[in-house]
Amino acid sequence: MDLPEIRQNDFQRQWDAVRAGVIRAIERVGASGCYILGDEVQAFEAAFAEFCGAPHSIGVANGMDAIEIGLRGLGLRKGTKVLTTPFSAFASTLAIIRAGGVPVFVDVDEFGALDLRQCRAVFEQDRSIRFFLPVHLFGFPMSLPVLARLRDEFSLSIVEDSAQAIGAADHGIAVGSIGHVAAMSFYPTKNLGAFGDAGALWTNDAEIARRARALRNYGQSSRYAHEELGLNSRLDELHAAILRDALLPHLETWLQARATNAQKYLAEIANPSIRLIRPRLGATAVWHLFPVLVAPQHRDAFRKHLAQSQIETAVHYPRLIPEQKALSGVAGVQMLTELVHARRFADGEVSLPIHPFLTEDELNKVVDVCNAWRP
């Protein structure tokens, strides 16, 4: 494969950094003879719960399942509306539908995340909407004090989709701790990326934790006792061992490197044709992505300009979720506001490389090539 020099993700460099720990974890799991729901999953759940500052963490097969299990754990019933964002990974909405819910959409704000003021207006208008799936997009935390007020005023049941925001905080509050459930993904490109699919949810609520543990394992409350129809969404021992032993210990350093890279871009990219997005005051972003906005008619040219200098870019996300073909036959799907900002992002967003293994020379090159661009 002929890869560009400066990539969105550099898995080769990551492998060099974690190889010894991964091999050790594989040896240990292989020798243990236990591959499903054993000590390794428990040990990872404990370590991850400590990292998140939550009492309960439940390992599952992927981030999408974490959302579905979270919504079901909160008692979502068939046909119930769930307010969510039109601008995210498709998995956010797909999880709602798989859980039996009906997604309804509100526009995003200037950071690409749900506009909480418009959400408030919707909650005031339609008292039948009590489930909420906000997404902390790009690694930017949404305003958590505002989210907490909405939760309390409207008695909302909230799952925070924190797949892109592990470790982020706002006004000293950890992302994921305002919702009843936080859903995390360890998809390889995520800030804590496994060697395959994996995910987790965490919660302060012991009863939700108990149900989630049953749901991930066919709905079994105890061996061969099936209380409800669950999923097969178990986290493998192997992934759990690798995550705890070889990856989690690096997470703080990696998040710090992403933040340092972002600070450099924010300080040094200065081009009136490239709009940078600065997190709100009080927000600790974890920079899963580094999104910039350019004029829609110039986006392809901008990406080409970077590609000519061996810089790989991406677009998150080119199409709004409610406009995806797969949703056309789903009953009840509604856009509750105009999607003005969401469309601006979908048409003009470009993600610059921000991964933690970028060198100073590479960062300088990205800055110079951005600054030299003329649409």
Ligand X SMILES: *Cc1c(COP(=O)(O)O)cnc(C)c1O
Q: Which residues bind ligand X (CB under 6 A)?
A: 62-64, 88-89, 91-92, 135, 161, 163-164, 185, 187, 197, 199
Q: How far is the CB of 14 from ligand X (least distance, A)?
A: 17
- List, in order, residues 6 or more apart from 141 with CB less than 8 Å away: 165, 168, 169, 170, 175, 279, 283, 284, 285
Q: How far is the CB of 136 from ligand X (least distance, A)?
A: 8
CA distance 195 to 242: 8
End-to-end CA distance of the chain: 30
Q: How far is the CB of 372 from ligand X (least distance, A)?
A: 31
How many angstroms separate the Cα of 172 from the Cα of each of 110, 140, 284?
22, 14, 8
How many angstroms separate the Cα of 23 from the Cα of each of 27, 240, 244, 251, 267?
6, 13, 13, 18, 39
Of 280, 262, 271, nearest to 305 by C-alpha is 271
Nearer to ligand X, 170 or 197 (CB): 197
Nearer to ligand X, 63 or 348 (CB): 63
Nearer to ligand X, 9 or 92 (CB): 92
Which helix (H) or strand (E) segment is 20 a member of? Answer: helix 11-32
Nearer to ligand X, 62 or 313 (CB): 62
Nearer to ligand X, 305 or 356 (CB): 356
Nearer to ligand X, 140 or 302 (CB): 140
CA distance 260 to 2: 28
Tokens of 59: 């390992």
Of all residues in the shown chain, the one whose CB is closest to ligand X is: 63
Q: How far is the CB of 183 from ligand X (least distance, A)?
A: 7
Nearer to ligand X, 85 or 261 (CB): 85
Contact (Cβ atoms closer than 8 angstroms) between residue 61 and residue 294: no
Nearer to ligand X, 9 or 369 (CB): 9
Of 68, 65, 125, 113, nearest to 87 by C-alpha is 113
How large is the C-alpha radius of gyration of the chain? 21
Q: How far is the CB of 373 from ligand X (least distance, A)?
A: 28
Q: How far is the CB of 215 from ligand X (least distance, A)?
A: 16
Tokens of 277: 């997005």
> In terms of residues, how long is the chain?
375
Q: How far is the CB of 277 from ligand X (least distance, A)?
A: 16
Q: How far is the CB of 321 from ligand X (least distance, A)?
A: 11
